[in-house]
Amino acid sequence: MSAPALLWFRRDLRIGDLPPLAAATGDGRAVLPCFVLDPRLERSAGDRRLAFLYDSLRFLDDALDGRLLVVRGRPETEIPRLVRTVGAGAVYAGHDPSPFGRRRDAAVAAALAHPDGDSGADRVVLELIGSPYLVSPGRIRKSDGDPYKVFTPYFRQWQAHGWRLPAATSSDQARIVDPDDVEASGRVRIPPAPVASPMRAGEAAAAARWQDFVGSGLARYAEDRDRPDLDASSRMSAYLKFGNIHPRTMVVDLFGPGTPGSDSPGAGAYLRELAFRDFYADVLFHWPESAWHNWNRGFDEIELDTDAAARARFDAWRAGRTGFPLVDAGMRELAETGFMHNRVRMLTASFLVKDLHLPWWWGARWFLDQLVDGDIASNQHGWQWAAGTGTDAAPYFRVFNPATQAKRFDPHGRYVARWVPEFGTDRYPEPIVDHQAERAEALRRFGGL
């Protein structure tokens, strides 16, 4: 009988379409499913994201009939400890291509390869299989071997590359080790959610939400996706963030099992959004420093405001008290729900950088604290797109006009009315800046580089 295997869950909190599960159960091996609550990640995640994580773990534990072993600690300590405890012959997990994930996995692999500092006996391999993306970061490159820096050519190559079909996996195929039989010193109960999660977490909820969108929202997605006043977005981003569903599963519902070729505008528009998710992960993979620094270092010297007055403007932006209704509506939606429509994310980000002249990473950090779906690759590079310091070829002169955006994307004022009910009364503040003047100032600052 083969030695048991550890199945280490991370960004893939589900059972279906889970390649590491298929690999771990090969040769009839018994499997110990585990999750490591890393205090570093708990400290860096906002309360809503933690709530969604903990709820996802509870649903995963239910799917495993209560046999998910959860420990708290540093993975490079806890994973080797579990390996020794159960005599595991291998550890299986999905690849996490984020800078933090790669550093963590390198530390775990080193600890497994050299147990207790001994370079000889009992080496165990960390097998990384698959990724949270349709096309794993680093796989697509230009003909000269360089990574892509522009989305459109990346998108063409991404489509030509294609992806695998979903893996047929279920908990029934595994002989699962009972965690009650494992003496794990770091074992903990799944923590209670620090706040009520704004949406139901877990694999079943992800599947239900996706099927509802495919059935009722996909047909008009291309036309309505930029309208925050409509319930036109899929709301799948948090499920993708935590791996409650894999995008492979979603693409099959968009186009069927073959190569994408549907003439459905909605399906095509949605596929493009999934491609952007892959692209930003690829950018971060190749330029990990772009998580907190300008991807385009030519903008490092741009003049930014960081004094006490700037902090006051930042506080007004966070509170949704800028005097620009669509900006304020988005910031209030974020504060109350942990979600913001993508069109409004672009506007609020542009406003912070181009109208208030504040560092983009102030806003990016606030978003990561508040968003349920806060993802380092998509969030940071979305902010740099708005700031004009990212991979866009000619970005600096793009300055969103809040009034124009409101007329175009909230034409009846319903979104603003929902989140800024006092708009139009003397209780609503005057604009904290003059948009036209600040637009000219932003262009002056960018043009001076």
Residue positions forming the annotated binding site for FAD: 221, 233-237, 270, 273-280, 373-375
Q: How far apart (Å, rounded) are the C-alpha atoms in residues 448 and 198?
A: 44
- Count how many Cα atoms sit within 13 Å of the Cα of residue 68 in the half-sphere of its side chain: 24
Q: How far apart (Å, rounded) are the C-alpha atoms in residues 9 and 68?
A: 9
Write the single-letter amino acid at 232.
A
Helix (H, G, I), strand (E, B) or coil at 279: helix
Q: How far apart (Å, rounded) are the C-alpha atoms in residues 159 and 247?
A: 14
Helix (H, G, I), strand (E, B) or coil at 70: strand
Both tokens of residue 122? 């009992």
Q: Quick one: which of 408, 402, 443 has its CA closest to 423?
A: 402
Query: Scanning the structure block, which residue is given the tokens 């319903």?
Result: 414
Both tokens of residue 170? 């279920």
CB atoms within 10 A of CB 141: 14
Both tokens of residue 151? 């989305």
CB atoms within 10 A of CB 77: 15
**CA 183, chain centre distance (Å):** 34
Q: How far apart (Å, rounded) are the C-alpha atoms in residues 36 and 23?
A: 20
Binding site feature residues? 221, 233-237, 270, 273-280, 373-375
Q: How far apart (Å, rounded) are the C-alpha atoms in residues 138 and 412?
A: 44
Beta bridge partners of 72: 37
